[in-house]
Amino acid sequence: MAKSLPLNNKEEILKYIPHRPPFLFIDRVSNLKIGKSVQASFYLDPSADYFKGHFPQHPVMPGALMLEALAQATCVLFAMTYPSEKKRHFYAGSVKVRFLKPVEPGCDLELNSKAISMISKGGVYEIWARVNGTDVLRGEMGCMCVYEQ
């Protein structure tokens, strides 16, 4: 049976992924089943710089940043499934997604990633994001991990 656990703060999350503020897009991991899936969340702070330019009259979260948030959640799943003392770099490869609804400031973005296939050098994941239980993005992402020597 897969182990399930939360990571309740950014300090815990930072132990598993190389991303750092201001480019960290996960606040909390609420459910993680090692080798299987992860559910995380990110609060879209209305004062975030990207909302000032995307778009000034009707701010929405850039799709590229939603994908980055999902990639970071996937990195947590990967890092906890394949622990290593070596420094790692993560890369998103192929991405097939559909953006279903715009995501506005002040929302809690729920981030989900489920392993379709995973090996120690990467994998393919079903990804989706939700706001208030409504899907805003659905797709598939391929990721790879490179270990430093």
Contact criterion met (CB below 8 Å) for 139 and 80: no
Backbone angles phi, psi at 107, to 5 degrees: -85, 155
Phi first, then psi: give them for residue 12, nearest 5 degrees. -70, -40
| Nearest-angstrom CA–CA distance, 146 and 149 | 10
58 is catalytic: no
Catalytic residue chosen out of the listed positions 19, 54, 58, 89: 54
Q: How many residues are recorded in the chain? A: 149
* Rounded Cα gap, residues 90 and 75, in angstroms: 7
Burial class (CB in 10 A: 0-12, 13-18, 19+), 42: buried
The catalytic residue positions are: 54
